[in-house]
Amino acid sequence: MLFKVEMKVNLPHDMPAEVAAEIKAREKAYAQELQTQGKWRHLWRVAGSYANVSIFDVADNAELQDLISNLPLFPYMDIQVAPLCRHPSSIHQDDR
Ligand SMILES: O=C(O)CC1=CCC(=O)O1
């Protein structure tokens, strides 16, 4: 199942820089592992914002919840999720 996930990061302004850097490093490693597994299909920066738009390919809602809630930045993000299905005009056969 495909999901669009929009994440907006809101780190506290008083968070020490080294703490923020450590969380971001863990976030990057986790995100890259999920991309390698094919579960995090797309990861795009929203230009001009500390936010991203992502496409996840997971078995079900429960797996998405599990993956997202384990993001190191999860406590500091506003997250919006939308389920996707194939557009009838899409030429991409791998879209489901
Ligand atoms: O910087 C972001 O948009 C938050 C984030 C998600 C995956 C990652 O590496 O950073």
The rounded average pLDDT for each run of 10 residues, N- to C-terminus, in the chain (96 residues) is 98 98 98 98 98 98 98 98 94 73
pTM of structure: 0.94
Domain boundaries, the chain: 2-84
Most informative mutation of 10, 30, 36, 43 for ligand 1 (most atoms within 8 A of CB): 43
CA of 22 to the centre of ligand 1 (A): 13
Cα 88 to ligand 1 centre (Å):
31
Burial 27-66 (b: 16+ CB within 10 A, else e): beebbeebeeeeebeebeeeeeeebbebebbbeeeeebee
Please give the backbone phi and psi of residue 59, each rounded to the nearest 5 degrees, phi first: -70, -40
User: Tell me, what's the ipTM?
Assistant: 0.98
Top CATH class, 2-84: alpha beta
Q: How far apart are alpha carbons 41 and 17 in whole angstroms?
A: 30
- The Å distance, Cα 66 to ligand 1 centre, comes to 17
